[in-house]
Chain A
Amino acid sequence: MNRSPYEVLGVSKDATPDEIKKAYRKKARENHPDLNPDDPHAEERMNEVNEAYDRLMNPEKYAASDHRRAQAQQASDPFSAAGGASWTAQTYTWDDIFGGGFSYGAADPRSIHPEPSAEDTPEMRTAIDAINAARYPQAVAVLDGVRRRDRTARWYYLAALANYGAGNTMLAFEQIKRAVQMDPGNDDYRWALGAFEQPTRQYQQQAAQRGFNPSAASWAELCVGLTVCNVAANFCISATGAHGFALCL
Chain B
Amino acid sequence: MFGFATVNIPDLSEDEKLRYRAVYCGLCHELSRRSGQASRLSVNHDLVFCALVRLSLYEPEEVRRTGRCAVHPASERAYIQNDEIAYAADMTIALMHGKCADDWNDDGSIPARVYGRVLRRPYEAVRERWPRQCTALEQGLARIDGLERQAAVGRDVGPDEAARAFGAIMAEVMVREEDFWAEGLRRFGFELGRAVYLIDAAVDRADDERTGSYNPFSASGLDAADMRAVVGDCLARTADAFERLPLVHDAHLMRSALYAGMWARVNDALADGEGQRAGTPSAQMKASPCMADAVARGPVAKGAAS
Chain A residues near B (Cβ < 8 Å): 17-18, 20-22, 24-25, 28, 47, 50, 53-54, 57-58, 102-105, 108, 167-171, 173-174, 177, 196-197, 199-200, 202-204, 206-207, 210-215, 217-232, 234-249
Contact = CB atoms under 8 A, between A and B. Distances in A.
Interface centre among A17, A102, A171 (most CB of B within 10 A): A171
Interface string B280-306: 000100111111011101011010111
Given A25-B248, A231-B71, A245 B239 contact: no
B222 A200 contact: no
A237 B289 CA distance: 11
Contacts of B6: 219, 222
A231 B286 CA distance: 11
B92 interface: no
A230 to B, nearest CB: 7
A171 B159 contact: yes
A204 B264 CA distance: 12
Given A222-B294, A226-B289, A237-B283, A206 B229 contact: no
Nearest to B285: A235
Given A22-B248, A174-B220, A206-B239, A238 B306 contact: yes
A33 B158 CA distance: 47
B188 to A, nearest CB: 12
Interface stretch (B97-105, B128-136, B255-263): B255-263
B265 A219 contact: yes
Give the 8 A-B CB pairs with smallest separation, nearest first.
A200-B232, A246-B305, A241-B277, A214-B263, A225-B293, A207-B259, A203-B236, A217-B264
B235 interface: yes
Given A170-B159, A213-B260, A215-B267, A222 B248 contact: no
Given A210-B259, A214-B260, A229 B72 contact: yes
Interface in B110-158: 158
A224 B289 CA distance: 9
Interface stretch (B7-15, B27-35, B83-91, B169-177): B7-15
Interface string B247-279: 111010001100111011101100010101111
Interface centre among B232, B279, B304 (most CB of A within 10 A): B232
A235 B286 contact: yes
B288 A224 contact: yes
Nearest to B279: A239
B234 interface: yes
B72 A24 contact: no
A37 B163 CA distance: 44
B73 interface: yes
Contact of A169 (B160, B217, B277, B302): B160
A220 B286 contact: no
Given A224-B291, A241-B276, A24 B246 contact: yes
A207 B260 contact: yes
B9 A221 contact: yes
Contacts of B272: 242
Nearest to A221: B299
A247 B294 CA distance: 10
A53 B259 CA distance: 24
B229 A173 contact: yes
A81 to B, nearest CB: 29
B10 A21 contact: no
B203 to A, nearest CB: 11
A140 to B, nearest CB: 10
A239 B277 contact: yes
B244 interface: yes
B268 A221 contact: no
Contacts of B8: 212, 217-219
B182 interface: no
Given A170-B230, A196-B229, A219-B8, A210 B255 contact: yes
A169 B247 CA distance: 27
Given A24-B246, A203-B235, A221 B160 contact: no
A45 to B, nearest CB: 14
Contacts of B73: 228-230
18 contacts: A104-B237, A170-B222, A170-B230, A196-B233, A214-B259, A214-B260, A218-B8, A218-B268, A219-B268, A222-B6, A223-B305, A227-B293, A228-B73, A235-B286, A237-B283, A239-B277, A239-B283, A245-B287
B151 to A, nearest CB: 14
Given A173-B229, A213-B260, A238-B305, A104 B268 contact: no
B74 interface: yes
Contacts of B279: 239, 245
B226 A247 contact: no
Interface string B219-233: 011100010111011
B260 A222 contact: no
